[in-house]
Amino acid sequence: YVLAPSKWDHTDLTYRIENYTPDLPWHEVRRVIADAFKVWSDVTDLTFTEVMNTKADIMIKFASKYHKDGYPFDGKGLILAHAFFPGKDKGGDTHFDEDEKWTINSNGEGVDLFMVAAHEFGHALGLSHSNEPKALMYPWYQGYIPDFQLPYDDTLGIQVIYGGKGPYVTFRPPARTTRRPNTGGYSTLAPPRKAPIDPCKGNFDAIAVIRSEVFIFIGKYFWRSREPKTILSSEPSTIHDFWYGLPDNVESIDAAFEHPTNRRIYFFSGNRYWIYDGNSLSNGHPRSGKPITDFGIPQDIEKIDAVFVWGFNKRIYLISNDMYWKFKESDEYIEPDYPRDMSIWKNVPIPVDTAFKFQDNTYFLKGKEMYKFYDMKMRVALNWPKSIEDFLGC
Amino acid sequence: LPVSDNLEADALKFLGRFGYISSAQAEQGAQSLMSVDLSEAIKKLQRMGGITQTGVLDIRTRELMQKPRCGVKDPVGEEEGGRKKR
């Protein structure tokens, strides 16, 4: 068995079934889910209580393709389900691919919900995959097993984490704690900002390098300079005075970048975008903007936090909260298999305020903190973040 | 040596999706991957799947990559950190 990096710090866990598959009667799904949890509670002191209307430790749902996390399902076959290791927000949450044919006690046809649920709950409790083919935590689906008993490998694994009871007790339970994880709501939006106008306080809406100049956007203002350390020596301009045709109801810019090949300038605000040639709207681009769904971004995404051209591969990336997308190489549509989870950009905080490429390096910003990214190692560089004050010469 | 062009894109996609090549390699694309890395990644996949570790995309490996499975990454990369195998 292999342990995941996290575990629950309490043993009285709750779960909630957010929706049901049409493949099975709902009461059967509830029973199967309860039975799948029982697999784990039979060998530990863990308890699982279903709740109906409140946030639970383990949120369970059936979903298809993109479903608001960074791990879209792939249609029928291959990936059947996934779960998040214990933790805040999405931690413990378990998702089943609705494109599968879910069955109970199935022999051959369809996917047995109990077997998959029991496996996924192993992840939700803190177990990773095992290379023991007889183990429940073996990653490949083994089909329906009549009178299933949790194998020895999995029993030892879960008892290492939470202590045990039953035939294989090997480990004592760890000291209990009454602290519960933060089960507050999961928001896809950064908190609303009040229009700060001192760039040295951070909280940028967007930073972009356009025609070799650094542009800083905060609220309806922007500053520009070839040399960031002198950028505050001049007064800011307002976005509407300079970028002709930007509608009055656009009060701030969420993200901006200069396209690396067509040299056009893209602005994002809310769920719409505008394309500029210089400081005039591009020919034919409507003043009201276009929806970001044109790029293939899902409809439920309300804003783009950052867009940047990654120096490593010269590709365009869009970020919204804990998800990111990559444009296809030859056009302006997102690649399949996206969004992906922002954890790939190791140590970059989410949600980011903005991101930009400057002198061949990629920087992410949040608040007053600036994170230089180490492309080859795919993580924030050592000795970063640093205060934005250094960059701006505050 | 760079990876030859005839490697199936699906195999790379699979290896990236399930943690057998690093997040960096998966994001950067095939051009960042050396053949020795790829062979090692395939061996790790074969080890996890319980099939002979040839280090090449043989028929058993291709079959393994088609089989239904969990979407959680396998614990083979160093990047996840903190994982203990016993």
Lowest mean pLDDT across A5-19, A140-154, A164-178, A210-224: A164-178
Q: For residue A183, is pLDDT > 70? A: no
What percent of chain A has pLDDT above 70? 92
pLDDT digits (tens, 9 = 90+) for A25-73: 999 999 999 999 999 999 999 999 999 989 999 999 999 999 989 899 9
What pLDDT, on a 0 to 100 scale, did the predictor assign at position A241?
A: 85
Measured between beta carbons, which residues in chain B are less than 8 angstroms from residue A344? 23, 26-27
pLDDT (0 to 100) of residue A306: 96
Instruction: Name chain A contacts of B71, Cβ cutoff 8 Å.
Output: 71, 73, 79-82, 97
A171/A169 Cα distance (integer angstroms): 6
| Average pLDDT of the segment spanning B62-72 | 94
Q: Which of A163, A267, A176 is nearest to A215 (CA)?
A: A267
- Test A139 with B28 for CB contact under 8 angstroms: no
Tell me, yes or no, if B70 comes closer than 8 A to chain A by beta carbon. yes
The answer to whether residue A389 is catalytic is no
DSSP string, A271-309: TEEEEEETTEEPTT--TT-EEGGGGT--TT-----EEEE
Q: How many CB atoms lie within 10 A of CB B31?
A: 9
Mean pLDDT of chain A: 88
- Does B64 touch chain A if contact means CB atoms closer than 8 Å? yes
Q: Say how far apart CA A205 and CA A295 lie, in whole Å.
A: 21
Rounded CA gap, B41 and A222, in Å? 47
Q: Verify whether the Cβ–Cβ distance B70 to A77 is below 8 Å.
A: no
- Helix, strand, coil in percent for chain A, rounding step 5: 15, 30, 55
Contact residues, chain A, for B51 at CB < 8 Å: none
Task: Please tell me which residue in A98, A100, A120, A258 is annotated as part of the active site.
Answer: A120
For the cut 70, the answer to whether the pLDDT of residue A170 exceeds it is: no
